[in-house]
Structures are given as C-alpha cells and as structure tokens.
Structure 1
Amino acid sequence: MTDDARVHRREPEVLDEIQAADDNPEYRIDLERVRFSPYFSRLSAVTQVISQAGASPLIHNRLTHSLKVTAVARAIAVAVEKSLVGTTPALSQPGGCDAVVVQAAASAHDLGHPPFGHLGENVLNKIARGPLGLADGFEGNAQTYRIIAALDVCDGAALGLNLTAAVRTAVAKYPWTPELDGISRATIVAESAASALPRGIKPSGGELVARKYSAYYLEHDDLAEARMSAPTLRPYEQSLECSVMDIADDIAYSIHDVDDFYRAGILSQVAVAREFRGWTENSSALRQLVAPGVDIAENVPGAALESLRRRILRDDPWIAEDDAFADAVAVVSEDLVEGLLSTQFDGSISAERRLSTFTSRWIAHFERSVVAAPPDTPRTGIITLDRRAWHEVKVLKFVHKHFILNRPDIAMYQRGLSQVLVTLVTAFSDWLDDDDDRKRVPRRMLEMVDLATMGYLRLARERPHLLTDTDAASLQRLGRGRGVIDYVASLSDGQAIAVAEALNGRTDRLWDIGQSL
C-alpha cells in the first residue's frame, strides 16, 4: 500500500505544522489524539481483572495495562521492522511495520471496555441482544472501534478522532462485523493451507458465527474503508501492525495478571503447585481418560491442565504440540510455582525486586520470541510467538483463569456488579420512555441516542438486510438501545456504582455524580 493510502483522512495543514519534527507526523497525531482522549483517561478507573479498591493501588487497571501493552508493542515493532520485514511475502507489505502506528493501536485497544472489565462486557452483551434487541450486541473490541470512529471527538472532525486508515486497521483485532461480510468457511479453506477458523469465529448449526468482532453494523463501512488501504489483506486477516499489538496484549495479559494476583496475596502456591505436580506426575494416566472424564474429575490434580492441553490441540493444531506443552508446564512450574510463589509477597523492597526480575525476564523472553507466522494460517496474524513461547503464554494465562476467576468470592462479587449494569440500562431505558421527564435525561446520553438513531436511519437506507424492521419506530428503538449502551459503557467502575445508587434513590455523592453525567 502507498503511504497516502495508509494515511487517508488527515488534514494537510496540520501535517505541515509538525512535518519537520517527526518522520511520521500523521501517525503521531493519531497517537496524541488517543492519549488525550477522555476515553483513554477513563481507563485509569476501569477494572483490569480485580479492583484496586479491593486489593492494592499497585494492581493494574485498564490504563496501566494499556500503557504496558504499548511499551511491549513498540519493542516488538522495532524488532520486526529490523529483522523480519521483507523475509516473507506477508511481511513485505509497503509501509513495513510502523512503530508509531503500533503504539497508537495499542493505546486505543481497550478504549471500549465497559465498567467491571470482561464481566461488564458479558452482561451488556446479554442485555443488548435480549431486551434491547440489538442484533450485533455489545463487544469490547467493536465498542473501541465505535469510540474512535463515532463517539469520541476532536477538532475539525464531525465524528470520531479522524484517525488514519493504518491506525484504524491496526485497532481491528477481529476485522469483521457479526455479519461476517465476505467471510465463509469455503473462503477460509480456499485461501489457506489449513481449514482452522480464525480466532473469534466458530461454527454453529452449519454456519459461521462471530464470537468476537471489531465493528458493529453501524461502523461496517468505516472499517471497510480503512482496510481498503491494505488491499492485499484477506477478509479475516489482521494488518502487520495489528498483529504486533495483539501479541503484545497477550504478553502483557499473561504476565501482569499473575503479577497482580501475587501482590494481592490471592494466588495460592499450594493450590497451583498441586495442579502442576499432579499433571507432571500423572500426565500419562490423565491422557488415557476421555474428555468427559476429565471434566467430571475437576478436583483431580492435573485434570484442568489436561483439559487445557486437549483444548489447544483441538483448536490450534498449526502450532500445538505435546512436547512443547509439557516443556511449558515444566518451566512455568519451576519459575512461577516453585520460584516466585514459594515466597509470599510482603511489600518489601526485596519482594518488589523479586517480582520485577520475574516480570522483566519473561517479557524480554517473549519479545525475543516473535517470528514470522506459517503462511496461510487463519488462526494467527502475520507474526506470532514461536512454539515454545506460544505454549508458555497459554500456561501462564491458565494460572490466573483457573485459580482466580473461578473463586467463589470473586464470582459472588461479580454477580453483584452485574446487577449494577442491569439497573443502569433498565433505569435509563425507562427514563427515556417517560415523556413527562425525558427532557431531564443527561444531555450526553440524549446526544448518543440521537447519534445512534441517525446511524440506524443510514443503515436502513444502505444495508436494510441487517435490520429486522426498518420502520421509524423500530429504528428509534434501536437508536435508543444503542445510545443507552454507549452511555453506560462509557462510565468508570465508580461512576457506574454511584449512578446506580442514585437511580435507586440512595447516594452520598449526588453533586459529584452530576458533574460526570
């Protein structure tokens, strides 16, 4: 692609002002627009996995996570540009791997996360698809794209941040809408050496279903326009810069969540060691069990790791390997289970140094493990982690998913938080239906409803097949539903709780709430 095609949507007079100061001024503007966005600042008050209020101010939030993903992504981008660009046809795209594009995409990648992390995402998706009747539901990646394309503001643009095509393309990890326009199983099989489906797409009832996607129907055309700047990309393929951002996100997620749980003192060395030793000592016996037997015997030491091994062999045969999995279990067991976790974190300087050494060593190892992906493999991007590191990331992510997210106390807390979101959406929807009091609805919500309604009116004209009904009342209902979801998703954790209390007639922070609406 040409540099002009990758840039697209940029004001020449703005570029002239900073051309001399930056080799990539158009991308630097994108990075600054993302980082100066209130949606970016808001991430400091949005949960990553566990709340700072319930653990420690040193626990990662979405902002600190995004900053670290950006740092890792830049390091990978520089290495890719230096060592890998041009080594394969897929890595020979015009424009190479621009580190500033990668930084902008990494900074933006979590803008769409609603209050309470992935829990909030799941709850809002159920509400959106159910009571609100939004066929494309709620998805954090799609909400991110909606923010940069429509909801956020910048000087000189009617909608969104007016980002370049390269950055918008790099943000889209799952570059399709729920419609999967232009993507079919036949297309994937015909264009690849393997029939495995891209991550985020799964078969259901003889059809393909988008479990993850990076744009709602309303932003379909914007994403399609952005990706036209890279005409060689397949419909399901990430751009090179997006692939770098995606790997960096996986690396940060696998390491920093373990960091958090170790700091919080909720990652039990005894429980983790029992599972790892159980699999190591009984792996041969566990492999003889049929899959249902493993599921039933959840308390058998090693059974959960055995389920992970089977799952990655089933889903990722392009890279999954038993020996590599066993090696990953062994090295994580030695370095994390028998190493870091063997000494309780007590907040001392020596404990901080021990944790910093562990984190730095693993991140550096992963950054050095990036390689060109096998050709025509839909399950991964243009680059990937080598076989050893890929398995290690899977095992590290298993630790916090299995030993933290399934804890009864966290589950109980999350069920309470889910009710906060239900309360917010229900109360605001009822308020918008109240003709006698609708004029007092927060102005920003009314603006979001109007913006969404205009989008559905355009969709009814240009892509009516995506809508069940296109009469005026139905479009108004969809616009109201999407607007309410946009508004609730834009709140921080604390705002969501405080506003829900206010809507129930209970609050000690009435005037603070009013300033944020």
Structure 2
Amino acid sequence: MLPDQITPPAVTARLGHGTADQDAVVGNAASRVFADHDDARADPWSIDLERIQFSPYFSRLSAVTQVVSPSISGAPVHNRLTHTLKVSAIARVVALQLNTISRRAGEGDVCNATVVEAAAYAHDLGHPPFGHLGESTLNRLAREELDLPDGFEGNAQTYRILVSLDVVENAPRGLNLTAAVRAASAKYPWAPSVAADDVERIGPPRGIRRSPDGAYRVHKYSAYDLDLADLDEARQGVDAEPLRQSIEGAVMDLADDIAYSVHDVDDFYRAGILDHAPIAAEFRGWLDDVLEWRARDDDEVRAELAPGAGLERLRRKMRRDDPWIADDEAFLAAVSDVDAEMVTDLLARPFDGSLTAERRLAAFTDRWIRRFQESARLRPLDTPRAGPVVLSPWAWHHVEVLKFVHKRFVLSRPDLAIQQRGMSRILARSVRALGEWLDDDLDRARTPRRLRELIALAREQYSALPAEHRPADAERLARSRGIVDYVASLTDAQAFALSEAISGRADRLWALGQRL
C-alpha cells in the first residue's frame, strides 16, 4: 500500500471480510427501509443498480442538457445520460483498481464496485431542465419566491428522487435502495441545516465555505430537510465518518470530475466552439510571465483583462480554497501540459470530421482519462476538504486547468448567455404560473394530478418531522416543494412545452404528452 493510502476499518468490515461483528455491518449496508421480497432474488446491490437503470427518471436524462443543447452547437454533444454512462464506466474502473492495489498489499477489497456503479448511474437524476442554468434558476425561485429555506440543489434532488419521489412495487415511496447505495449517492452528505460545530470539527469539506464574517455557507448539499432522516439512517448503515463521503461515494464523485473535465473538450472541439487563438493567447500570456503574475497583488489581478489573468485568478483561487493540496509548481506543470497536449497539439488543427481527426481526438481523450483513473488513491480521513478517495496532486491540478478551459471559453460565451437567459425565463414563468393556478379557488381542481400528488407527499413528510423541527407554515412549504419537484422532473422539451402551453400557445397544447 502506498504511504499516503489507508484502509479505514469500516470499509473492509462492511464488505464482509472478517468477524461476525463485521458481517453485521455488511447486513446494515445491505438493509432497505421497507421489507422487500426482491432481496432473495440476487445480491441487493445489483437489484439497486437495476432499479435505477429502469427508472423513468433515468430515461429522462437523455433529454436533459449537460452543458449546452445540441441545437446551440449544431453538433452532437453530451446530454445527461451519455455523461452518466461515462461516469459509471470510469467509476467502476477506479473501484476495481483500488481493490487490486489493496489486495496486492495483503488487504481485502476496499470498495464495492456494484455500489459505485449504482451511485454513478444515480448521481445526476436530480438535475432539472437546462443543465446547471436550470439548477441555479430553480434555487433562486425556490428561495426568493417560494420561501423554501433549503432551496433547490441538484444533488439533494437526486437523493429525494431515490428515497421519496420515484416508485417501486414493494415500497410506499422511493426505490427502497440499500443503505450503501443511498449513502454513496450523497456526494455532499449533509443538509443546509448542518451544525457549525460539526463543520468546525473536521474543517469545512468541499461544498461548505467560510464567509469573511466567519460563518459557514453551505452551497452544496445532498439532502433537503425533508429527506435528512433517511440520509442519516443510510450513513449509519455504512459507518461513514461524519460529513465524509463513503468510499463508494467518493469514487463516484471523482469519476464525475474526470468525465466532466475531458468530455467537454471532446464536445466543443468537435463543434468548433473551442477557438484556438484566444485559448492559446491565455495560456501563453500566463506561461510567458509566470513570475510577474505571481508578484502582482490580488486587486490588480482581479481587475486585469489581459491574456493570462484568468489562469492567474484560478491559481490564486486554488491556493485559497485548497491550500492543503494546491502547489505552484504543480499548477505550472498542469498549465504547461494542457498547453502542449490540448492547445498546441489538438486545438491548433480544427476538427474536420475525418478519421484522422477522430483518431487524434480519441487518443487525447483516452490518454487523459487513463491518467486520471490511475492517479486515484485512498487518503487519510483527516485530510481537509477531501473525501476518502482523491486524485493525486498532479491529476487534481490538471483536472482544474481542463475545467478552466470549459468555464472560460464555453460557459462565458455571449451566445450561450443569451439563450440561457431565455431558458431561465421559461422556468420562472412555469413556476409562477403553477403557483397562481393553485391559488385559483375556481380552477384549482384542474391542476395536474401529478403536481397535487407531489404536494401531498411533501405535506405528509412535513407532518412526519419531529415537533421541534416541524415548520409552522408546513402547508405552504409543501405546496412550494411540490411545485419545485414537478418542474425539476421535466425534460428540456417538456419544460419549454409547459411554459408555452400555460401561456396559451395552442400549438403546444399536446406537447406534454402524459406528463400532466
């Protein structure tokens, strides 16, 4: 085993290597919330994987934007489903690789590959229409207009789908998954109401930041208050450390980062969106004056528009947010490598659809994914902000630089921003119109049945909260949560159709199909 690797005892225990007490932990990890006759048919984690794969929420991902709609680029790009399939493939390889390393060191398996695969298939179920733009828009609407204190978060919506919204024959709600899969699906295993003392005990993990006034700001989380009791129960079943991902959840998270950093380059190079000239200028502008950039003060760098300033701001952000791993020399190596292999070698030759271009792009993608997969390793649980499985410092810096290219030269494009503003209005129009419809005493009974069922489910959950945590305005919050659950479950096309139909567009009357 490598010097910076560990095998937490709970990991080996829950996979069934050892004493009777350890076998009991395995039983907890495989337990479900409700009695389930399918447990006798196969191993419980394979059943979970099957249930997620056959879920209509999973099928829906093929019609949900990953970063941009194919209609923007004019070329095939990843949607949420193709992204999910790649995350699952990467995650399974990493899980098996960790087990191989552990066996060579004379230890048992440290990771359940089937649980990892199930969590990877589940990880994006909660993403709403229109990608991350839809997520931020729904969060703003949920907090500012619907007064939901825990807002909207794609990861929390994923967990809500798994344990509350989706259905299976043998349970009154949710897919009735094992504790291990539910825990692994929680990338940020806490709710917005996480106690400051718990954060202070380990230092803020990724997803929680300390504000200038010393308070903690939770900007990523995997459970709404309504579903937190289920998450707490699931995590007890796998003996996960407080506020730490399970081993399987950490592998899923790492695989998501790898896929995201590499296949966006694939997409936008094919589509001709990654313009070589400005990207090359940015990289050369920083590499040619590394020492000068480092010597400049923060205010000056924040205001700078010259090529290279974006990379320098990224370097400073990494040092500020993750000082335990950020390293100036590793950052320089990452920028140099990405400049040589992506900017100079790949992007300098436009994609022309030829087999030669396809082979060059495939070689680039395969090479980087393999490097990142092979760099995965276990880490001590007291490492700040890190899960139990992380990329090596070399790989982490390279992933951050690759993601920078996507954020700076794709997401900041004015043409994308224009369409995203329109998408934001589509969601806002639908949320507001549904709220007004529910307020209409004369026509409330004709609101979509699914919407009324989602509100009833949220009402039931609020009623089940302990008295000390039950809000006084539970009825209003149930209505708000039901509206958000309804709109978030739509595909891109369904969201557009609902917005148009609810505005009186006759040609959109039947576009929603059976969704209403």
- By the TM > 0.5 criterion, same fold? yes
Taking the aligned partners of 2:128 and 2:503, their CA distance within structure 1 comes to 21
Aligned to 1:108: 122
Q: CA 1:502–1:303 in 2, change beyond 3 Å: closer, same or farther? A: same
> Post-superposition shift, 1:457?
1.7
> Post-superposition shift, 1:460?
5.8
Matches within 5 A, 1:325-336: 325-336=331-342
**Does the 8 A contact of 2:459 with 2:478 survive in 1?**
yes
Aligned to 2:59, the other structure's residue is in SS state helix
> Post-superposition shift, 1:95?
7.0
Residue 221 in structure 1 maps to residue 229 in structure 2: yes
Aligned to 2:514, the other structure's residue is in SS state helix
Alpha-carbon displacement from aligned partner over 1:349-401 (angstroms, at most 9, x marks no partner): 22222111111111011111112224511311112111111100000000010
* TM-score normalized with structure 2 length: 0.92
**Does the 8 A contact of 1:265 with 1:344 survive in 2?**
yes
Matches within 5 A, 1:281-360: 281-298=288-305, 300-360=306-366
Alpha-carbon displacement from aligned partner over 1:112-141 (angstroms, at most 9, x marks no partner): 000011111111111111111100000000
Taking the aligned partners of 2:386 and 2:89, their CA distance within structure 1 comes to 21
Aligned to 2:55: 37
Taking the aligned partners of 1:318 and 1:209, their CA distance within structure 2 comes to 20
Taking the aligned partners of 2:173 and 2:308, their CA distance within structure 1 comes to 52
**Does the 8 A contact of 1:320 with 1:391 survive in 2?**
yes
Residue 142 in structure 1 maps to residue 156 in structure 2: yes
> Post-superposition shift, 1:12?
6.0
> Post-superposition shift, 1:5?
0.8
Taking the aligned partners of 2:227 and 2:332, their CA distance within structure 1 comes to 43
Amino acid at match of 1:422: A
Aligned to 1:202, the other structure's residue is in SS state strand
2:217 pairs with one of 190, 209, 220: 209
2:37 pairs with one of 13, 19, 25: 13
**Does the 8 A contact of 1:136 with 1:216 survive in 2?**
yes
1:280 pairs with one of 278, 287, 299: 287
Q: CA 1:399–1:80 in 2, change beyond 3 Å: closer, same or farther? A: same
Aligned to 2:210, the other structure's residue is in SS state strand
Q: CA 1:183–1:161 in 2, change beyond 3 Å: closer, same or farther? A: farther
Residue 176 in structure 1 maps to residue 190 in structure 2: yes
Residue 61 in structure 1 maps to residue 66 in structure 2: no
Aligned to 1:3: 26
Amino acid at match of 2:26: D
1:247 pairs with one of 251, 254, 257: 254
**Does the 8 A contact of 1:136 with 1:217 survive in 2?**
yes
List runs of 5+ in structure 2 lacking aligned partners: 1-13, 15-24
Taking the aligned partners of 2:381 and 2:105, their CA distance within structure 1 comes to 12
1:410 pairs with one of 416, 437, 440: 416
> Post-superposition shift, 1:11?
4.7
Taking the aligned partners of 2:363 and 2:468, their CA distance within structure 1 comes to 55
Taking the aligned partners of 1:374 and 1:459, their CA distance within structure 2 comes to 36
Aligned to 1:368, the other structure's residue is in SS state helix
**Does the 8 A contact of 1:85 with 1:97 survive in 2?**
no
Aligned to 1:365, the other structure's residue is in SS state helix
Amino acid at match of 2:232: A
Taking the aligned partners of 2:168 and 2:196, their CA distance within structure 1 comes to 32
* TM-score normalized with structure 1 length: 0.92
Count of residue pairs brought into register by the alignment: 491
Aligned sequence identity (%) = 53
**Does the 8 A contact of 2:91 with 2:255 survive in 1?**
yes
Residue 494 in structure 1 maps to residue 502 in structure 2: no
Aligned to 2:22: none
Alpha-carbon displacement from aligned partner over 1:435-471 (angstroms, at most 9, x marks no partner): 111111111111001101111122263623xx3xx1x
> Post-superposition shift, 1:187?
1.3
Taking the aligned partners of 1:320 and 1:445, their CA distance within structure 2 comes to 47
Aligned to 1:177, the other structure's residue is in SS state coil
Amino acid at match of 1:238: Q
